[in-house]
Structure 1
Amino acid sequence: MNETLLKAPSAQPRTAPATPPGGALTRQRRRTLLLCAGFAVALVLLTGLALSTGQVEMPLMDALRALVGLGDAGDVLVVQEFRAPRVLSALIAGAGLAVSGSLLQRLFRNPLASPDVIGVTGGASFGAVAMLAAGASQLLIPLAALGGGILAAALLGAFAWRSRMAVTRLVLVGLAVQSGLAAAVNLMIVRFPAELADSALQWTTGSLYGRTWTEVRFGGAAIALAVAAAFLAHRRLSVLDLGDDSAGGLGLDPDRARLGLLLLAIVLASLSAGLSGPVAFVALAVPHLVRLLAGPPTPGTLALTALAGAVLLLGADHIVLHLLPVQGLPVGAATATLGAPWLLFLMIRQGRLPQRSES
């Protein structure tokens, strides 16, 4: 029987990269720790740069004092009300998207699996724009995005269950779901009143503009809890990597564990999209980058994935704000420009790799 969305074949155990033994494990831990330190320093530097630069320039120390409510009243207003919520949204959403992509790629055992490729972020966009069309409060947008992401995953699961398709083909179905939901979103935007169309269109391209402390508090707390749950679930992921027979022998129900981890990845991606919009390719590219730099998955590499996602999204936002000649571009435009060649490279590389036979 072919692989389905939530069930891997028991006849062929999974062949995920094993954690390196002995001295190799020690070297990987040391390398991961150094990389985490490097990305943490980059994160601090980018945060300071984002808080101190803009139309109102100020020295870094003045920006840091303004962040805690000290110094010139104008600086405090600019930093606390405009820059800090945007910076924190980028950090939180970037980490959430990257961790979600890492979970999906390990669950599907497919390097092309990510929330924006299999349709989850398209569903989040659909839910959020529908909420905007209804004129509801901004506080409900993350919940609407979560509902839309679950809807997209349910559609994907229904197609997979009915056709018993292999996991390697789910990416194509996910792209179809993403395209269909994008068409529905565009239709709603066209039918919007003019005063709502601009805000909805900006949100659907992936934008950190106009984030508020209320959104950061509620969305950030939910994403932080989901990321913590992903760290706690890492042991189950490692057991699933051994194959369904071995996982069952160790007392783990593979189908239930896989479903729970899939729902966790969907929640992470949808909540992150509710905070930043459907920013493309962060969830796809960052897990690959971490595997190239740090090696096989461990709890340390998951922490590195979260740090790298935060750095990537904050860096991309700084680029579109200050380094491009075109003003007003959403951050999603920068990540899509960087990610499209990466997706093409992965698809070409997948086509060249020998495919395992399916039972």
Structure 2
Amino acid sequence: MTALLATPETAPAPRRRSARSRARNRTLVWCAIAAVVLVALTGIALGTGQVKMSVWDALRALAGLGDPGDVLVVRQFRAPRVVSALIAGAGLAVAGSMLQRLFRNPLASPDTIGVTGGASFGATLMLATGASQAMIPLAALGGGLLAALLLGGFAWRSRMAVTRLVLVGLAVQQGLAAAVNLMIVRFPAELATSAMQWTTGSLYGRNWPEVWAAGGAIALTAAGAFLMNRRVSVLDLGDDSAGGLGLNPNRDRLWLLLLTIALASLAAALTGPVAFVALAVPHLVRLLAGPPTVATLALTALVGSVLLLSSDLLVLHVLPVHGLPVGAVTATLGAPWLLWLMIRQGRLPQRNDS
């Protein structure tokens, strides 16, 4: 009788709660799958190479158990590279997701608004001075903030809408890339090779001091992004609604933007400007899990780590080209996938054969 007397206004509420519950459960299932895949890939990455060992032996060596030779190979040479891929992949993916929500533009990412170009500029400039490797994360962060200032300055002078800032960001990105190329041309041969490898995105030669310096900062910044996810959700409602709920939209958007730029710049400092991860992973997660929540942001981080680590495994053990940077692989895999995604979403005109 209660169901028969339910009004149209009250009847959909249980269905809405049920839909949210199903979406949350689906996201948790995907998180569990991504976590299992990530553990498996980590074991494969630690155990594969010139010194071969099983996944179990590799994980035991990571804990300091087993054969001393295996422990040395895993903990000193392979683990820093794997951990760098995990941390940087998660950081880039989370940064891309946050930027797409803040800009309300599905093409917004650190690659398209100039942040990775700025990070490359700062890091390359630091390499040119012969400074310590530990200073590169700070230089990359400064370069990313420089790109943000250039973007904000152009947008403020022209009163440009937020949704069109991506076009200005592409111009900033290309200008900074040209400056990086000019510095590389002027470098001595030994520095030019190192800088060229870094600016294409590479995990080669990572060591624990770099991982602790950049990785620790990435972890703290990503934690801040998760803590502020609720504010992003309120900003998604629009400036008027966000103001009515007690937020200052302009101030909060500025702080969130600075946090996201810092996250992307630090990730680029660890691996170089790896393409495609920040742009495409948020799209893939939306296809799998639906609208953004804290759980989908966690899934975004996991998928970013899976993508970067699996791409590095392709570089090391599958592709015949020795020394290929991981950024070249992610860009090659990402371009056709992104084109398919744009066609699927109707962003490109469809041909009518009738």
- TM-score, with length taken from structure 2: 0.91
For the pair 1:66 / 2:61, whether they are aligned, the reply is yes
**Which amino acid counterpart does residue 238 of structure 2 have in structure 1?**
G
Unaligned runs of 5+ residues in structure 1 are 1-19, 355-359
2:145 matched residue in structure 1: 150
1:12 matched residue in structure 2: none
1:120 matched residue in structure 2: 115
1:112–1:347 contact (8 Å) kept in structure 2: no
2:190 matched residue in structure 1: 195
2:114–2:148 contact (8 Å) kept in structure 1: yes
2:47 matched residue in structure 1: 52
**In 2, Cα distance between equivalents of 1:203 and 1:185:** 11
Deviation at 1:246, TM superposition (A): 1.1
Distance 1:36-1:347 versus aligned 2 partners, 3 A rule: closer
Structure 1 window deviating more from structure 2 (31-40 vs 70-79): it is 70-79
Unaligned runs of 5+ residues in structure 2 are 1-14, 350-354
**Which amino acid counterpart does residue 335 of structure 1 have in structure 2?**
T
Choose between structure 1 and 2 for higher RCO, CA contacts under 8 A separated by at least 6 residues. Answer: 1
1:320–1:331 contact (8 Å) kept in structure 2: yes
1:117–1:174 contact (8 Å) kept in structure 2: yes
Structure 1 window deviating more from structure 2 (64-73 vs 185-194): it is 64-73
CA shift digits 1:88-141 (9 cap, x unpaired): 000000000000000000001000000011110010000000000000000010
1:14 matched residue in structure 2: none
Residue from 116, 126, 129 that aligns with 1:131: 126
**Which amino acid counterpart does residue 133 of structure 2 have in structure 1?**
Q
**In 2, Cα distance between equivalents of 1:352 and 1:332:** 26
**Which amino acid counterpart does residue 178 of structure 1 have in structure 2?**
Q
Structure 1 window deviating more from structure 2 (263-272 vs 218-227): it is 218-227
Deviation at 1:352, TM superposition (A): 3.9
Deviation at 1:63, TM superposition (A): 1.5
**In 1, Cα distance between equivalents of 2:101 and 2:153:** 21
The 4+ residue runs of structure 1 with deviation greater than 3 A are 342-354
1:236 matched residue in structure 2: 231
1:357 matched residue in structure 2: none
* Structure 1 vs Structure 2 CA RMSD: 1.6
Deviation at 1:344, TM superposition (A): 3.6
Deviation at 1:345, TM superposition (A): 4.4
Deviation at 1:56, TM superposition (A): 1.5
For residue 21 of structure 1, give the secondary structure of its aligned residue in structure 2.
helix
For the pair 1:83 / 2:93, whether they are aligned, the reply is no
1:307 matched residue in structure 2: 302
Structure 1 window deviating more from structure 2 (219-228 vs 128-137): it is 219-228
2:5 matched residue in structure 1: none
1:16 matched residue in structure 2: none
- TM-score, with length taken from structure 1: 0.90
Residue from 267, 276, 289 that aligns with 2:262: 267
Deviation at 1:194, TM superposition (A): 1.2
For the pair 1:250 / 2:245, whether they are aligned, the reply is yes
Distance 1:352-1:77 versus aligned 2 partners, 3 A rule: closer
For the pair 1:294 / 2:253, whether they are aligned, the reply is no
**Which amino acid counterpart does residue 57 of structure 2 have in structure 1?**
D
Deviation at 1:170, TM superposition (A): 1.8
**Which amino acid counterpart does residue 116 of structure 2 have in structure 1?**
T
Deviation at 1:72, TM superposition (A): 2.6
Residue from 38, 42, 58 that aligns with 1:43: 38
Deviation at 1:351, TM superposition (A): 7.2
Deviation at 1:340, TM superposition (A): 1.8
2:144–2:262 contact (8 Å) kept in structure 1: yes
2:342–2:348 contact (8 Å) kept in structure 1: no
Query: For the pair shown, which has the larger CA radius of gyration, 1 or 2?
Result: 2
**In 1, Cα distance between equivalents of 2:245 and 2:168:** 33
Residue from 75, 93, 97 that aligns with 2:92: 97
1:28 matched residue in structure 2: 23
2:144–2:265 contact (8 Å) kept in structure 1: yes
